Amino acid sequence: MTLVKTTFGRRAFIRNTGLASGGLVLGFSWLASCKDEAAMEAALQMPDSWFDINGFLKIGDNGLVTIMSPNPEIGQNVKTAMPMIVADELDVDWAKVLVEQAPLNTDIFTRQLAGGSQSIRQGWQGLRLAGATARQMLKQAAANAWQVPVGEIVTAAGMISHEGSGNSAGYGEMAAAAGALEVPEEVVLKEPGEFSIIGTDRKNVDGKKIVTGQPLFGLDVDRDNMRIAMVVHPPAFGQKFKSANLEEIKAMPGIQDAFHQVVYPEGAELQWSDGGHVPEMLVIVGNSTWEVMQAKRAVQAEWEADGPLESTEYHNTELAKLLEQAPDNPGRRDGNPEAAFARAATIVEKTYSAPYLAHNTMEPMNFFAHVTADKAELLGPIQTPEYLENTLAGILEMPKENIDIMMTRMGGGFGRRLYGSFAVEAAVISKRIQAPVKVVYSREDDMTQGTYRPSYMVRYRAGLDADGKLIAWHMRAAGTNDGGYFANRFPAGAVENYLSEGHTLRTEVTTGAWRAPTSNFMAGVENAFLDEVAEAAGKDPIAFRLELFDRSINDPVGDPEKNDYDPERYAGVLRLVRDKSNWDSSSPNAEKRGVAAYYCHNSYVAQVLDVEMNAGVPRADKIWCAVDCGIVINPLSARNQIEGGIVDGIGHATFSALTFEDGKPQQDNFDTYRLIRHSEAPREIETFFVDNGIDPTGLGEPSLPPVMGALANAMYRKAGKRYYHQPFVGSQEDRRIIG
């Protein structure tokens, strides 16, 4: 039994004995049941009244429960998983649960943000507390009504009962009385073994709407008198507006206005979520997307720059120079690496690189805004609504309480929608034209004005003694606008003489979080290098890694509290994937399989990958994946996330790159920016979760980083060639035609 205080504060618990407003029943058609929707509607008619129990849920007089899902939904399925947590602690029948996307409400909800694979981890206790509090209040209401001790009341599947008196009631019968009670000072949370919903497969609450094309996404938004707007940004990073044929554009069919607009005025107080913004833009406003798109194509604009514009060649040259320079402040130093390298019998030294990457969400950027003199209403796909609200309050010069931000489901995020400049653009445009407007980016807009994954280079050196023991490790990394390394991750703490250090190259190109930031590079190259060092030491790749983990467990170097990782859990997933894949260096499969393991976003993932090669192009035959992410809320969704991350990682490592010439992106659509195709996806992925009862950790990102290393290692074994530079497959022309 876990007894917890209800520390969320009185604002989180709204007590109401009647229908406070019509808004309580808006949007309640988002059914969470995996049963047939029509059958459920027939069995469970909408209740006559609703009673707010707390900020996360409402209970109707017929027992129907609505649970608010507070965080943005970007395909990671938190809109299903978060309500599952509440419903389990509430002890309600999942078939009687409706799910509603909550609007931004910082008074009731905390951390309404989708990023860093932290939604479930950060919301775990609060969501449980919400359900448990409501359950306790229902039990107390029943105890009061039946004049029995509350400790003798039990709940199950939305029913309350008392064995001694024979009384029982549905939640709906006690909802009004429960809503009138004071919030209890403490409640009991379930033990993991008591969960009945958590840990079971539940279908996506929006699944039917997605496959039948019902409105869910930002691009689906349509309002009365709504205008469509598209924007033109400078074509190259570092350019500013000079002139344009705006009067000609205004005369085109269906166009209402065209103008130059400053989005972020000088001196505006910006949030980190405004990273990558373009301060100015050209705007075309019209009646329909097609008419506005035609007008946008007719824009003839002049842009100018204060100095030379940057290219990929320049960035790569400067990154390479930085690798030759020792930083003034190393990230971590253990022992005496210089002396250890001097006495090493064998030194392995390799340099790796990776290019810029675009996010390429299936749904391009878009947002709806209606800004009036005293109010702003915004609706669209955003990962950081609270930060957006802060920015808008400053730019619109409007109190935050007058700004209403509602979230739609997103057709992908991957970090791109952490940066909300497209929503700020919508608000600024609406304010100027004094009308509701939806800003829509084309695919070309999205790809050429994105906030990209940085480009990276890293040089590794490893020193081995005469017995093949790793005695020295040196990593020096450099990245565009990012240092590109983690000082205290493995093998820190496992090597006697260790040095990690990094450089940052500041560029005009806007960069930011891209699925598993920095890890998406470091995991792959670290694991590729570990395999090469293991080969030089004459050791099996998994056995070599486990030796290092044993050192970190039994005789750690330096202060183990500094290490980012838990070596026991790290080694645990590696052993699990070794056993599940029947790893054996002498088996026939050994010639085509690679391994990798990595820790990020508080979770541990290890993978073994078997590869086939066709004209130099890899195809994963089978992948075994072991995951330690604590308690798994929804195994069906969890497997989907793991598989999606694996496919995404393989595709980008194999094919994708974004390059620049004179500040201008050279790829603007999928004919030149290569993504993985269905026929190239792994034939089979088998996932195994460690059942350890630990509170949930990250899941949306951790499977992507290591698979890049597992793929590179498998390709080496199959083709006899080491891969040091992403993408692994050929030139830009090759990436366009292969497959």
DSSP secondary structure of 21-87:
-GGGGTTTT-B--SS-HHHHHHHSPPPS-EEEEETTEEEETTS-EEEEE-S--SSS-HHHHHHHHHH
What average pLDDT score do residues 386-392 get? 96
CA dihedral sign, ordered 462, 464, 469, 471: negative
What class does CATH assign to 323-357+452-737? alpha beta
- pLDDT tens across 619-664, in order? 999 999 999 999 999 999 999 999 999 999 999 999 999 999 999 9
Rounded Cα gap, residues 318 and 39, in angstroms: 64
In the chain, domain spans: 2-211, 218-306+365-440, 323-357+452-737
The pLDDT-based confidence of 51 (bands split at 50, 70, 90) is low
Q: Is the pLDDT of residue 79 over 60?
A: yes
CB contact at 8 A, 533 and 539: no
DSSP, res 373? S
Query: Where are any strands of DSSP class E within 465-510?
Result: 470-480, 497-505
Q: What is the pLDDT of residue 60?
A: 83
- pLDDT tens across 423-438, in order? 999 999 999 999 999 9
Q: Both ends of the chain: CA-CA distance in Å?
A: 56
Q: Is the pLDDT of residue 32 over 70?
A: no
Q: What is the pLDDT of residue 185?
A: 87
Rounded Cα gap, residues 549 and 557, in angstroms: 11
Note whether 218-306+365-440 and 323-357+452-737 share their fold: yes
The pLDDT-based confidence of 36 (bands split at 50, 70, 90) is very low
Strands 617-628, 685-689: pairing is parallel
- Average pLDDT score, the chain: 90
- pLDDT tens across 459-503, in order? 999 999 999 999 999 999 999 999 889 999 999 999 999 999 999
Q: Residue 355: is it exposed, middle or buried by C-beta count within 10 angstroms (0-12/13-18/19+)? A: buried
Is the pTM higher than 0.85?
yes
Q: Residue 272: is it exposed, middle or buried by C-beta count within 10 angstroms (0-12/13-18/19+)? A: exposed
DSSP H helices, 467-605, are 519-537, 541-554, 567-580
CB contact at 8 A, 618 and 711: yes
String of DSSP letters for 133-189: HHHHHHHHHHHHHHTS-GGG-EEETTEEEETTTTEEEEHHHHHHHHHTSPPPSEEEE
Q: Which residues contact 626 (CB under 8 A, 6 or more apart)?
A: 573, 574, 576, 577, 580, 605, 606, 607, 687, 688, 690
Domain 218-306+365-440 in CATH 3.30.365.10: yes
The pLDDT-based confidence of 267 (bands split at 50, 70, 90) is confident
Q: Is the pLDDT of residue 28 over 50?
A: no
The pLDDT-based confidence of 50 (bands split at 50, 70, 90) is low
Q: What is the pLDDT of residue 54?
A: 58
Helix (H, G, I), strand (E, B) or coil at 472: strand
What average pLDDT score do residues 335-356 get? 98
Q: What is the 3-state secondary structure (H, E, C) of 313-346?
A: HHHHHHHHHHCCCCCCCCCEEECCHHHHHHHCCE
The pLDDT-based confidence of 5 (bands split at 50, 70, 90) is low
Among the residue ranges 320-334, 406-420, 458-472, 527-541, the one predicted with the least confidence is 320-334
Q: What is the pLDDT of residue 326?
A: 85
DSSP, res 12? G
The pLDDT-based confidence of 614 (bands split at 50, 70, 90) is very high
Q: What is the pLDDT of residue 57?
A: 83
Q: What is the pLDDT of residue 576?
A: 98
Q: What is the pLDDT of residue 130?
A: 85
- pLDDT tens across 103-132, in order? 998 877 778 999 999 999 999 998 898 899
Rounded Cα gap, residues 543 and 533, in angstroms: 12
For domain 2-211, the CATH architecture is 2-Layer Sandwich (3.30)
DSSP, res 648? H
